[in-house]
Amino acid sequence: MLSGSKVHLRLLKKEDVSILFKLHSEEKVKKYNIIIDSMDNKVDLRKALSIVNEDDNLIGFVTYKEKEYYSRTYCIGITIGSEYWGRSYGADSIKTLLRYLFKKLNAMKVELYVASYNIRAIKCYKKCGFIEEYIKRYSSYIDREYIDIIIMGIIRERYNSYLKCEDGKYV
């Protein structure tokens, strides 16, 4: 189990699956979940961890996957049920996952994909030290319209220096 200040990340349990499916299927949540197809048609085996809050409620999940074998670059994702939005669970989950990826798995870089209209998530990721790297224009087709996807990343050096700052702001 990985512990943050507000959440714990733990391995999925069999009984988590139905709850996580329900959270993932919420209309509010589905609007922001984007699926990026693998370019090489290989099976995309992501590792998933359940997010449990301080009241021991299962509130969502995070995923991570090494982009290429031994690349030390990881791609992450997060889904949290809408009733838990706005409580800093997302930021704490991301920071906890980053600590694991950089400190335990020796990552050199972590990146993520976010819909350009998902302002709440973009602010959260920036708060966690991510920067916008580039935009894939008209990259996904959701609700009968093409949307831009922003690719955000954080490299090891930035993560290490971000640890030395106060309240998520560089000193």
State pLDDT tens for residues 93-108.
999 999 999 999 999 9
The confidence score (pLDDT) of residue 92 equals: 96
- 18 by Cβ neighbours in 10 Å (0-12 / 13-18 / 19+) ranks as exposed
- Ordered by start, the domain boundaries in the chain are 2-162
Only one residue has tokens 């609007």, namely: 31
CATH for 2-162 (3.30.565.10, 3.60.20.10, 3.50.50.60, 3.40.630.30): 3.40.630.30
Confidence at residue 171, expressed as pLDDT on a 0 to 100 scale: 33
Q: Taking residues 43-49, what's their average pLDDT? A: 76
pLDDT for 43: 45
In the predicted model, what is the mean pLDDT of residues 123-146?
89
Helix 89-99 crosses helix 119-127 at what angle (to 10 degrees)? 50
More confident residue, 20 or 104: 104
Strands 109-115 and 73-80: parallel
| pLDDT confidence of residue 139 | 77
Average pLDDT, the chain: 86
Of 114, 98, 32, 20, the closest CA to residue 59 belongs to 20
